[in-house]
Amino acid sequence: MVDKLEAKHTGRTAILYVRQSSLQQVEAHEESRRLQYQMRERLIALGCRNVEVIDEDLGKTASGTVERAGFARMVAEVSLGQVGVVAARDVSRLARNIRDWYQLIEICSVVDTMLVDHESVYDPRRSNDRLLLGLKGNLSAYELDVMRHRMVDARCAKAARGEMYSLLPVGYCKGVHGRLEKNPDRRVQKAVELVFAKCLELGAIGRVVVWMQDHELEVPVRLPGCRGGEHRWRPALTSNISRIVTNPMYCGAYVWGRTHKVTQLGAHGRPQRVQRRRAQGKYEVLLHDRHEGYVSRKDFDRLQSMLANNGQSFRKRRPGVAGRGKALLAGVLRCGRCGRGMRVGYDGGVRRGVRYECAGEADAKTCITFVGTQLDELIGREVVAVVSPAAQEAARQAAHCGLEARREVMGALERDLEAARYAASLARRQYDQVDPDNRLVAAELERRWNEGSLRVEELERRLTAEHEEVQRRAPSLEELSELAHDLVSVWHADTTDMSLKKRIVRTLVQEVIVDLATGSRDVVVVVHWKGGVHTEYRVQRRRQGETGKTTSKTIVDAVRLLARVLPDRAIAVFLARNGLRTPFGKTWTTDRVRALRSGYDIPVYSAQIHKHEGWMTLEQAAEVVGVSPTTVRRAIDRGALEAEHPLRISPWIIRLDAIDRFRQNRLIDSCSATPSSAQQSPQFQRRREMPHHGEIHP
């Protein structure tokens, strides 16, 4: 054995590799680690003068799924030919996977490096030693695999009996007989029950988080390091609430195997273990009615279905969360041609115009699209008609639910106050028992006592403020009954929560199928109600330019008259100069005037039509008659000349027929009058062709 080591080996650096598989072994198996370090003395006895110990990988497994910096550094130094001997207590410390083990043997055989353990010295260049090293490496990997399967089988057998608990959910602790029991702290129990109650009421985890943050309520969480029934109180977050409402253990079921690990290739081709979450109900072990639950199994299943539908999917027919947008049928509207869910688009930055559209296939054009305001109004009227008979009963239930919600908040604050008083009292008792001369301890206990007292004062102020707020803003049963009599006004009120209206629609309506009728402007609507009744409606589509609000008749009539003599750009200028706005409060532009004309079938200004029909402005009429514009204006004021003035600041609009009648009347008047010697007969210019001017005159 010693003959294998030559001067060229002992003259180079000798590396002693020390490793244990986990941090638990590092803490508990101190003797094993001591034996590994004693290999240094063996190397010195073999003649090695420079021994380097690499123990950077303590607490890391050698299965190949963890990056080992110490092992990588050792392989790099061996590759450079600077190492003559690589030693370990046994070969399983070097590697427990074939990939790393054979890589090390191959490199050692190339650079002539010996391998040493507590039994022998191995030369990778010799066939017998290489065979023996290969067997030991395979046995090491096989041993690890056998141990892993043995432990997994033991855990699975224990889990099948419902006795395997890796991490207890918050709100539970182990009882005397090993079964789960509710945490004896009533504050924890009520907090978990409140989370489930609000999630069933509001229908979304995000709304529960916002509600609890608005009322400054905390939830119990289990942080790393907490054991048994220990917990900490933290502000409500989406992750905290989600871990509670999606865990089947809260409905009394035993669950094991909610996640599983999958091995895949990571960076640099090294395998790594990735944790994946199994789908709801696809767990390895699921045993119902094993312990007392915080929520019934029926309510828990309904809650999971509700949360699953909150994830919107047009192909899987998930409606998504009822948001605050103006589209009443978002999530329940489906295309009658391709069966996909229809998307919602909003016209304008303030989300006033609602448009439903079906995109169809990825490489195809839009399937169908239409303005959804009228359809939303139709479904809203039908829903109000359905719920109106039960409005009074709903008002009574709303009053009762409002009272229960106020009691929940007040009860949570009272429990927080009771816990804060206990913490402050405990800190005071600890401060009283400490030696006053021991200032290092007394100062810390005094600080805790002061913080506890401040917490008590803060909760007392919040409890008083909450009580006053409830007394001031809580609606009475009489007020709710009055609102129930006028349910239509409540439904159309701007202050009504849009997400609540959508949830009411989804409670009554399964889905709405729409299609565009061929040869008409109708939208064919089929409503599938939850009770199994199907109702068909027809809604007329709006034309381009029509909006949810009607443009005033004054503006429409003015545009109809101005379009005879002016283009759209000039009409928009005069509408703006008169201070007129669109139904949505926006200024008039060329595009908006064009859309208005299209919606009301107003012809566009054309020079040919303008010349053929004989429409002209006051200046053009004065040029035709051969007088000044002031003379024509006086004739209009006297009623001698017919003209129209659409707006306060706008051109006068005169037709050529009125000009001809005006000239004829002036000629008759001049012929019937007796002219004096000082008077001359009025001379009129011949009728000339009306010129066209593009200028804009007020």
Residue 620 has pLDDT above 90, yes or no: no
Coil/strand/helix, residue 622: helix
Given this model, what pLDDT does residue 679 score?
A: 39
The pLDDT tens digits for 376-422 are 888 888 888 887 776 667 666 666 666 677 778 888 888 888 888 99
Residue 216 has pLDDT above 50, yes or no: yes
Q: How far is it, in rounded angstroms, from Cα 259 to Cα 276?
A: 5
Q: What single-letter amino acid sits at 407?
A: R
Residue 345 has pLDDT above 60, yes or no: yes
Which residues contact residue 289 at a Cβ distance below 8 angstroms, ignoring those fewer than 6 apart?
Answer: 252, 253
The secondary structure of residue 48, as a DSSP letter, is -
Contact between 504 and 387 (Cβ < 8 Å): yes
Contact between 383 and 508 (Cβ < 8 Å): yes
Question: Which candidate, 70, 47, 49, places its Cα nearest to that of 60?
Answer: 70
The secondary structure of residue 323, as a DSSP letter, is -
**E strands along 58-184, which residues?**
83-87, 114-116, 121-122, 172-174, 180-182
Q: How far is it, in rounded angstroms, from Cα 404 to Cα 399?
A: 9
Residue 537 has pLDDT above 80, yes or no: yes
From the candidates 21, 92, 140, 650, which is the catalytic residue?
Answer: 21
Q: How far is it, in rounded angstroms, from Cα 438 to Cα 444?
A: 10
Which residues contact residue 551 at a Cβ distance below 8 angstroms, ignoring those fewer than 6 apart?
Answer: 582, 583, 596
Going by pLDDT thresholds of 50, 70 and 90, the confidence category of residue 688 is very low
Contact between 98 and 141 (Cβ < 8 Å): yes
Q: How many CB atoms lie within 10 A of CB 137?
A: 22
Q: What single-letter amino acid sits at 564?
A: R
Given this model, what pLDDT does residue 318 score?
A: 67
Q: How far is it, in rounded angstroms, from Cα 195 to Cα 189?
A: 10
Q: What are phi and psi of 254, to 5 degrees?
A: -95, 130
598 in catalytic set = no
Q: Share the mean pLDDT of the chain.
A: 81
Q: Scanning the structure block, which residue is given the tokens 């565009």?
A: 516
Residue 249, Cβ density class (10 Å: 0-12 exposed, 13-18 middle, ≥19 buried)? buried
Q: How far is it, in rounded angstroms, from Cα 213 to Cα 453?
A: 23
Residue 488 has pLDDT above 60, yes or no: yes
Contact between 129 and 99 (Cβ < 8 Å): no
pTM score above 0.95: no
Q: How far is it, in rounded angstroms, from Cα 565 to Cα 620?
A: 11
Coil/strand/helix, residue 515: strand
Residue 545 has pLDDT above 60, yes or no: no
Residue of 396 and 428 predicted with greater confidence: 428
**E strands along 481-521, which residues?**
509-516
Least confident interval from 203-212, 621-630, 672-681: 672-681
Question: Which candidate, 460, 431, 468, 466, places its Cα nearest to that of 446?
Answer: 431
The pLDDT tens digits for 275-332 are 788 887 788 888 988 889 999 999 999 998 888 877 665 555 667 777 778 888 888 8
Contact between 549 and 583 (Cβ < 8 Å): yes
Residue 629, Cβ density class (10 Å: 0-12 exposed, 13-18 middle, ≥19 buried)? middle
Most trustworthy range by pLDDT among 153-167, 236-250, 375-389: 236-250
Q: How far is it, in rounded angstroms, from Cα 123 to Cα 112?
A: 8
Given this model, what pLDDT does residue 694 score?
A: 39
CA 561 vs CA 33, 590, 648, 650, 655: distances in Å: 100, 16, 13, 10, 11
Instruction: Give CB contacts under 8 A, 24+ apart, made by 662-665.
Output: 662/625, 662/635, 663/625, 663/687, 665/640
The pLDDT tens digits for 565-591 are 888 899 999 898 888 888 777 889 988
Angle of helix 186-202 versus helix 391-433 axis, rounded to 10: 150
Q: How many residues does the chain have?
A: 698
Strands 83-87 and 51-54, by their bridges, are unpaired
The secondary structure of residue 372, as a DSSP letter, is -
Beta-ladder partners of 13: 83
Given this model, what pLDDT does residue 306 score?
A: 84
The pLDDT tens digits for 259-275 are 877 777 766 666 777 77
Given this model, what pLDDT does residue 482 score?
A: 61
Going by pLDDT thresholds of 50, 70 and 90, the confidence category of residue 244 is very high
Q: How many CB atoms lie within 10 A of CB 343?
A: 17
Coil/strand/helix, residue 487: helix
Which residues contact residue 622 at a Cβ distance below 8 angstroms, ignoring those fewer than 6 apart?
Answer: 628, 629, 631, 632
Q: How far is it, in rounded angstroms, from Cα 201 to Cα 222?
A: 25
Given this model, what pLDDT does residue 351 score?
A: 46
Q: What are phi and psi of 272, to 5 degrees?
A: -145, 155
CA dihedral 356, 360, 363, 365 (to 10 degrees): -50
> What percentage of the chain has pLDDT greater than the value 70?
84
Beta-ladder partners of 15: 52, 86
**E strands along 278-410, which residues?**
285-287, 333-335, 343-347, 353-358, 368-371
CA 26 vs CA 18, 31, 484, 516: distances in Å: 11, 10, 71, 73
Q: How far is it, in rounded angstroms, from Cα 143 to Cα 521?
A: 76
